[in-house]
């Protein structure tokens, strides 16, 4: 299993978590609260959570291509949701998880 993580420090972290999860419910299975969410993509899973004013996105995919696909989808949507003050998610790949 391949994993990656992005952290976005912003006072709007809660708003972005809710917006992403709410938006994705139109196409995929998503469970979420005001504090955390789990989005199940065909390629894998992304867990969203808050660490104070930091939005934390932890993704898992079967391989590099699956993980890259999830990262692209999340990055694209974050750019769309932050058009007025654009942000870029910086993904950090983790070591192979067993």
Question: pLDDT (tens digit, 9 = 90+) per residue, 29-39?
Answer: 999 999 999 99
Residue 95 scores a pLDDT above 80: no
User: What are the structural domains of the chain?
Assistant: 2-83 (3.30.310.50)
Q: Given 3-state DSSP classes, what are the helix, strand and coil percentages for the chain, each rounded to the nearest 5? A: 30, 35, 35
How far is Cα 10 from Cα 68, in angstroms, rounded to an integer?
24
What is the model's pTM? 0.92
With beta carbons less than 8 A apart as the criterion, state whether 34 and 19 touch. Answer: no
Residue 15 scores a pLDDT above 60: yes
Residue 96 scores a pLDDT above 60: no
Give the least confident one: 7-11, 52-56, 77-81, 94-98.
Answer: 94-98
């Amino acid at each position: 299993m391949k994993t990656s993580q992005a952290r976005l420090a912003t006072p709007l972290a809660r708003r972005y978590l809710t917006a992403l999860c709410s938006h994705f419910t139109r196409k995929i299975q998503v469970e979420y609260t005001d504090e955390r969410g789990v989005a199940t993509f065909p390629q894998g899973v992304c867990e969203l959570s808050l660490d104070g004013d930091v939005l934390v996105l932890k993704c898992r995919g079967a391989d590099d291509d699956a993980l890259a696909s999830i990262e692209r989808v999340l990055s694209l949507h974050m750019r769309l949701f932050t058009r007025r003050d654009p942000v870029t998610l910086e993904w950090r790949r983790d070591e192979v998880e067993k």
